[in-house]
Structure 1
Amino acid sequence: MDRISLGNDEFEGRNNAYVLADDAAGELALVDTGIAVDPVRTDLRDGLANRGYETADIDAIVLTHFHADHAGLAGEIQAESGATVYVHEADAPLVAGEEDAVAAVEDRRRELLAEWGVPEDARRALLAFFESAEIEGPPAETTPVEDGDILAVGGHRLETVHAPGHAAGLCCFEIDDGDEAFVGDALLPVYTPNVGGADVRVDRPLEKYVGTLERLVDRDYDRAWPGHRDPIDDPTARAETILEHHRERAATIVEFLADHGPADAWTVSSHLFGDLEGIHILHGPGEAYAHLDHLRHEGIVAFEDGKYRLEREPDATEPIV
């Protein structure tokens, strides 16, 4: 698979943009675009030039999800090339920059930061990070897709596999015969994708992400092409490893509540991750919240007066995740 490695100092390491080309038919497509900052623009343009293309040649852009490190340059490229931008219907309003959708995310984020017990100085630091990051490019006109849709782009057949959790509209795209797939941030080779903070729109984020991992195990791809870093040669094993990671994290949280008593998501996050800065001020308590929320729905913890308390000790054989 032809990938261009793109700079990224903030989120999970270097991004990937994948080039799909059918030179005989004159078709060129990208899967994901990278952040809208000059070093990444240069990485992408140089990568295309080394292959004999330029951004104006791009006919289609397939986005795995709305996050700026995957979709940031989509609108800019579309303005140059007229490319069709495909993205799941849940994320399309954000990629298109619809004011109501953007405002709803900001309102929900503020609401959750307060619910999680994030201190005011940390909230101000997070706001300063968002204001200084400047990673969002211009909006794009989008063509929404949903689970099961087939895209014919760049000489390839891509089947849309909705994979929510990290983002409401995150999708994997099975390639041609289905042995391999672009997986965006559903699977990452080094880090575990954040749930809870990465997209505050997702209801019951851990449950949805566990469902995504189980779906990927069932698909049993030979290779996965992630949104960051190197290809994953055994995606099934990687998905199972991440599932086990979340089981262990849930058990750690139960143990913490048993030892220390009721706590808010920020306090649990501090136990799990220590001091946080930048985007992790959102991602850390978001991850803690995703687990606490899941444990609440399982009847293991209760939420009262802004804190989670242990309601019962789970049975040793009980699959809490």
Structure 2
Amino acid sequence: MDRISLGNDEFEGRNNAYVLADDDTGELALVDTGIATDDIRRDLREGLAERGYELSDVDDIVLTHFHVDHAGLAGEIQAASGATVSVHAADAPLVAQDPDAVAAVEERRRELLAEWGVPEDARNEFFAFFESVEIEGRPAEPTPIEDGDVLEVGGRTLETVHAPGHAAGLCCFETADGDEAFVGDAVLPVYTPNVGGADFRVDRPLEKYVATLERLIDRDYDRVWPGHRDPIEEPTERAETILEHHRERTATILDFLTDHGSADAWTVSNYLFGDLEGIHIVHGPGEAFAHLDHLRHEGVVAYENGEYCPVTDPISATELV
């Protein structure tokens, strides 16, 4: 698979923009675009130039999800080329930078950071981090897509596989033979995708992400092409490893609550990850929240005044995740 590796020091390591080109028709498509910074814009331009293309040649952009390290340059490329930008309907308003949608996310973020018990100085540090980096990019005019939609782009047939958890609208795109897929951040080769802090709109994020992992395991791809770093040659095994990681993390959190008593998400995050900075100020407590929230819905812990405490004898995490 032809990919352009793009710089990314903040979010999960180097991004991939996949190039789909039809030599017969000249149609050109990109799967994801990278962050809207000068360095990454240059990486993408140079990568396309090496293949004989310019940004203005792009006919279609397929976005795995709305995060700026995947969708940041979509609007700019669309303005230069008139490309169609396809993204799941749940994420389309954020790719379009609809003011109401953006404001709702911001409000929800502030509510959850307070609810999770994130100290004010850490919250201020997080907001200062985002204000210090200009990564939002130009708004796009997206075409909303849904699970099961089939896209004909760059000489390829891709089936949309909705894979929420990390983001509400995250999608994988399965090739026509069903053997491979572009998976964005649904499965990553090095890190486990953040759940809970990566998209504040997702209700019951761990439950949704576990369902996504199980769906990918059932599809049993031969190879997948992630949004970051190198291809995953054993994707079913990798998805199973991530699923087991979440079982172990659930057990760790339950053991901590049993020993410690009640705790908020920030306290649990500190136990799991220690001191945090930058984007991880939300990723850490968000991950803790995803597990605590799941335990609450399973009736294993109670929630009151921002804190969680066990209400039953500890049970095997394999029964919970």
Give the corresponding residue for 1:172: 172
CA distance in 2, matches of 1:284, 1:93: 26
CA contact (8 A) 2:189 2:231 kept: yes
CA distance in 2, matches of 1:83, 1:21: 14
| Partner deviation per Cα, 1:187-225 (whole Å, 9 max, x = no partner) | 000000000000000000000000000000000000000
| Partner deviation per Cα, 1:267-291 (whole Å, 9 max, x = no partner) | 0000000000000001000000000
Give the corresponding residue for 1:289: 289
Gaps of 5+ in 2: none
CA RMSD of aligned residues (A): 0.8
CA distance in 2, matches of 1:317, 1:97: 39
CA distance in 1, matches of 2:131, 2:316: 46
CA distance in 1, matches of 2:226, 2:244: 20
CA distance in 1, matches of 2:40, 2:290: 32
**Which residue identity lines up with residue 7 of structure 2 in the other structure?**
G
**Which residue identity lines up with residue 225 of structure 1 in the other structure?**
W
- TM-score by length of structure 2 reads 0.99
**Which residue identity lines up with residue 201 of structure 2 in the other structure?**
R
Q: Trace 1:77-226 onto structure 2 (pairs within 5 A).
A: 77-226=77-226
- Cα distance, 1:318 vs. partner? 5.4
Give the corresponding residue for 2:67: 67
- Cα distance, 1:317 vs. partner? 7.7
Q: Trace 1:29-68 onto structure 2 (pairs within 5 A).
A: 29-68=29-68
CA contact (8 A) 2:247 2:317 kept: no
CA distance in 1, matches of 2:51, 2:85: 22
Identify if the C-alpha distance between structure 1 residues 240 and 167 changes in structure 2 by more than 3 Å, giving closer, same or farther.
same
Moved over 4 A (4+): none
CA distance in 1, matches of 2:207, 2:287: 12
| Partner deviation per Cα, 1:103-131 (whole Å, 9 max, x = no partner) | 00000000000000000000000000111
CA distance in 2, matches of 1:315, 1:14: 39
Percent identity between matched residues is 79
- TM-score by length of structure 1 reads 0.99
- Cα distance, 1:252 vs. partner? 0.3
CA distance in 2, matches of 1:184, 1:317: 27
**Which residue identity lines up with residue 256 of structure 2 in the other structure?**
F
**Which residue identity lines up with residue 14 of structure 2 in the other structure?**
R
Structure 1 position 15 matched with structure 2 position 15? yes
CA distance in 2, matches of 1:316, 1:169: 31
Identify if the C-alpha distance between structure 1 residues 116 and 46 changes in structure 2 by more than 3 Å, giving closer, same or farther.
same
Gaps of 5+ in 1: none
CA contact (8 A) 2:118 2:266 kept: yes
CA distance in 1, matches of 2:154, 2:241: 33
